Chain A
Amino acid sequence: MLISRDDRLSFEKSSPGRRGVILPREKFSRAEPPAALRRQSPPLFPEMSELDIVRHFLNLSRKNFSVDTHFYPLGSCTMKYNPKINEWVARQEKFAGLHPLQPDGTVQGMMELLWDLEESLKSITGMDRFTLQPAAGAHGELTGIMLVRAYHESRGDAKRTKVLVPDSSHGTNPATASLVGYRVVEVKSDARGRIDLESFKSVLDDHVACLMLTNPNTLGVFDENILEIAKLVHSHGGLLYYDGANLNPLLGIARPGDMGFDVVHVNLHKTFSTPHGGGGPGSGPVGVKRHLIPFLPYPLVEKKGDRYGWAEKSKTSIGRVKAFYGNIGVILRAWAYLKVLGKEGLLRVSEGAILNANYLRLKLRDVFPVAVEGPCLHEFVLTLKHAAARGVHAGDVGKRLLDFGFHAPTVHFPLVVSEALMIEPTETESRETLDLFVEAMKRIASEIETEPEKVRNAPYTLPVRRPNDVLAARKPLLTYRDLLREKTVAAETAA
């Protein structure tokens, strides 16, 4: 049995007195903490030996799909390979061992690297300055929309109360705009997921603070009207925000800055190859055009001759968005990646992403209908509308794919396509892998015809099958103590 069937928690493997770490024993002082301030009841922590803990975690790691073990065609998530050199770089003690409050003179190498990465990001996106502080894409969005607000306020322009967001956008866009206090106005997309110009013009007025846009959009289509859209927004005094989630097909090909975007966030954990970590840490640097630089969060690295220092706080800065300087460990990885790619490599990344997506699109369009015909950039969307009649939904196909050793595509997104399967292969997958994926999709398509219940009840080869999420939400059990309480209640009821 390769994958352990043991589903016990660490707490359930505990035995009193066991230990997993050996600490220094000697005390140097006779001081005692004041009794009144001491903790009253000890935390209920497990007690295990080092080997048992190592086995516990390693066996858990084997219950995961990961890029290093499986193909992850997850749309808009850019699950490309995470090169190991990046990990090596991030582990270097000369970087991982730097305290954030050390004097500048003792961190010159670190600051030079931050400056260097910022220069690369500026050049790749066509922006004039970046903050590396935001910890994730959504945190970058939050920072960006705060910058938009600060810009309008600085001009005494108080009438701007709304942010335009296409109906095909990522959920973070409207959530961010509303967190900053804007009213979210949805803009309709056309059949290709592009902004519907008529609908757009009808909501565009001088109350618009900004338009948030992903380009290419979530259908993998580049909005060719972008220059006109930018002109329209700017002519009404609004700004353009670029959601960098889909930047992977544009490296060295086109830049958001040239398209007219005023603010951009990039996801280092997508385009720039840093691992997703099971949900983080990511990094969401935000780039701006010159007119927004005075509002950037501090601190910013500054180069003075051969020396690096922290720039003086701008009086108009939106402030700090995070303690210290950003997710440095992630930034180090992205830096290493860009060094290995170089200019030529950037273009090849995007070319590879576009080729792989189009290859898959053409191989799969006879299996399931594609939402949009014609070439795509880095991703495309299939629709399972027809299968719904047989009781099979997009999510079911995703689950069945797991049995074939493929992670599910993004399912039921974007919202503008019914029964959507959103597929992004990335450039790091070989043609053989893509072909195997196509084979699996064909098998599933035929199963939908002949034995739909097989697809509906999948998967069959994984440690669990269809966890009951309705039950989980109705009766939240979020800790080991919740489980203990639950057990006691059950025992009492039985008695």
Chain B
Amino acid sequence: MPYIPHTDRERKAILKEIGVSSLEDLIGSIPASLREPKTAVSPALSELEVQKRIQFLGLKNLAVSDVLSFLGAGSYDHYIPPAVQEVAARQEFSTAYTPYQPEASQGTLQVIFEYQSLMAELMGLSASNASHYDGATSLAEAVIVALKHTDRKKILIARSLHPHYREVIGTYLNGSPCHIETFGFARGGDFDREDFEKKLTPEVAGVVFQTPNFLGIVEDLSGIADRVHANGSLMILSGHPLSYALYRPPGEWGADIAAGEGQPLGMPVSFGGPYLGYFVTTQALLRKIPGRIAGATEDADGKRAFCLTLQAREQHIRRERAASNICSNQALCALTACAYMTFLGKQGILEVAELNFDRASYLRERISKLGGFEVDLTAPIFNEFRVKSRKPFPQIEKRLMEGGIFPGVALEPFYPELKDEFLVCATETKTREELDRFVEALSRC
């Protein structure tokens, strides 16, 4: 039998040792009316047949490597150094359990500690958890921290925050006495300062911005932290983590919590998961962090050691009074991100961010010269920007897809007023030839 070592002979011997004649004697507590359920799963395949089957199913998919893809919008195709994949594929990491036994888990624990260190550095903040499920859920937890911390009932969210994240925050707060208010964005895509000021009322617990925002704009958040803090609220920032090597990170804007999506740090697009929720904050909020945290300490012989810490916040200790219900997180994704950031190192992380900016800027300049499309050349961007098509976007998309190009993500489904606008993403993976080919194809639309 697959993956079960017992032969028929051994099975009988075990039954005999147990002192029963069949399995039935061991499951007598299960009511007879429940037995022999109508479980209808397909017959067993050999591993070879499973390989054939997945390859056959794969033929019905077009992977981003089969085409020229400019899709972003919360899931980014970046170069993943092969060494990162090799390290993350080590089964000593992937088949290990949660490091509750520190002596048997120093590898995982030190990796988490290094991940927390790198993440805190990247975000310009001082404390990180060991990971959360994804950007959306991490942000939802950040919002809950703000509500509890301030004991207030309102959350103010930028409409330019990833629409999925806004929805998930809504799901998490549904049924609670708390409510969400959104502030809009100006025509250029940057947040509407006036609308924000108007809605920053004394009952606001926290304010959520995304930078670069969903429309690709790098926000100028000068003076915002002072306003938010003077109001007694927390400032929560989300955004593409690689952008923070080049642009001001959450800490430099005075944010209290950075919570968002870490997928760009070495994880494939993978149809939306598994990804990595990052949750990084200040010293002041240390004991409010949801989820696992690793800390450095000494062992009984005075040696450096790592262990999970501040566990009194967690569900397995505190049960219904826990800070969050989270148990499993995305540890292996955190390991991947840790390896990615380590391989890139101090220079590489900045270089890769600059390459993203360069590719997107080049593409935007070239598209600006095309007659059928409009872009805003003055908007500060990282690796994504808005394009407005004079022709209906679905038509453009269809034409380009026939030529093996995914032109970008339509914005109208998310923002009805942005008709025929789409979000184009160009990362460091794009060559000049590929960018030119895209421009050429657009020019023919």
Give the chain A neighbours of B137 by CB distance below 8 A.
135, 139, 321-322
Give per-residue flags for B267-301: 1 if the beta carbon is below 8 A from chain A beta carbons, else 0.
Answer: 01111111100000000001000001111111111
CA distance in complex: A80, B5 (Å): 12
Count of B interface residues, CB-CB < 8 Å: 204
**Are A83 and B18 CB-contacts (below 8 A) given A65-B96, A146-B174?**
no
CB pair A181–B176 under 8 Å, yes or no, is yes
Question: Residue A224 contacts which of B19, B31, B74, B91 (CB distance < 8 angstroms)?
Answer: B31
CA distance in complex: A226, B32 (Å): 12
CB pair A476–B57 under 8 Å, yes or no, is no
**Are A175 and B104 CB-contacts (below 8 A) given A136-B133, A279-B329, A377-B27?**
no
Give the chain B neighbours of A99 by CB distance below 8 A.
64, 69, 71, 75, 77, 269, 271, 406
Name the residue on B nearest A408 (C-beta): B101
CB pair A175–B299 under 8 Å, yes or no, is no
CB pair A7–B273 under 8 Å, yes or no, is no
Give the chain A neighbours of B118 by CB distance below 8 A.
43, 45
**Are A342 and B45 CB-contacts (below 8 A) given A62-B92, A325-B272?**
yes
CA distance in complex: A63, B17 (Å): 37
Give the chain B neighbours of A87 by CB distance below 8 A.
89
CA distance in complex: A312, B347 (Å): 47
Give the chain A neighbours of B269 by CB distance below 8 A.
96-100
CB pair A346–B75 under 8 Å, yes or no, is no
CB pair B270–A46 under 8 Å, yes or no, is no
CB pair A408–B332 under 8 Å, yes or no, is no
Question: Residue A428 contacts which of B4, B18, B38, B111 (CB distance < 8 angstroms)?
Answer: B4
CA distance in complex: A24, B89 (Å): 25
Stretch of B151-159, B229-237, B316-324 on the interface side: B316-324
Question: Residue B312 contacts which of A28, A430, A473, A480 (CB distance < 8 angstroms)?
Answer: A473
Question: Residue B93 contacts which of A48, A259, A278 (CB distance < 8 angstroms)?
Answer: A278
Q: Which residues in window 326-344 of A have CB below 8 A to B?
A: 326-330, 332, 336, 338-344
Give the chain B neighbours of A38 by CB distance below 8 A.
246-248
Shortest C-beta distance, B104 to chain A (Å), equals: 4
CB pair A21–B171 under 8 Å, yes or no, is no
CB pair A479–B315 under 8 Å, yes or no, is no
Give the chain B neighbours of A362 by CB distance below 8 A.
17-19
A interface, size bucket: 35 or more
CB pair A324–B164 under 8 Å, yes or no, is yes
**Are A103 and B51 CB-contacts (below 8 A) given A94-B58, A175-B319?**
no
Question: Residue B128 contacts which of A31, A109, A479 (CB distance < 8 angstroms)?
Answer: A479
CB pair B4–A352 under 8 Å, yes or no, is yes
CB pair B220–A36 under 8 Å, yes or no, is yes
CA distance in complex: A324, B297 (Å): 38
Q: Does B440 contact A (CB under 8 A)?
A: no
CB pair A348–B164 under 8 Å, yes or no, is no
CB pair A329–B270 under 8 Å, yes or no, is yes
Question: Residue A43 contacts which of B122, B131, B317 (CB distance < 8 angstroms)?
Answer: B122
Q: Does B10 contact A (CB under 8 A)?
A: yes
Give per-residue flags for B1-29: 1 if the beta carbon is below 8 A from chain A beta carbons, else 0.
Answer: 11111100011011101111001011111
Give the chain A neighbours of B45 by CB distance below 8 A.
339-340, 342
Question: Residue B95 contacts which of A20, A66, A328 (CB distance < 8 angstroms)?
Answer: A66
Q: Does A443 contact B (CB under 8 A)?
A: no
Q: Does A447 contact B (CB under 8 A)?
A: no
Question: Residue A126 contacts which of B37, B247, B339 (CB distance < 8 angstroms)?
Answer: B37
CB pair B102–A120 under 8 Å, yes or no, is no
**8 contacts across the A-B interface (CB closer than 8 A):** A29-B361, A39-B124, A43-B245, A100-B75, A137-B327, A324-B164, A340-B46, A469-B311
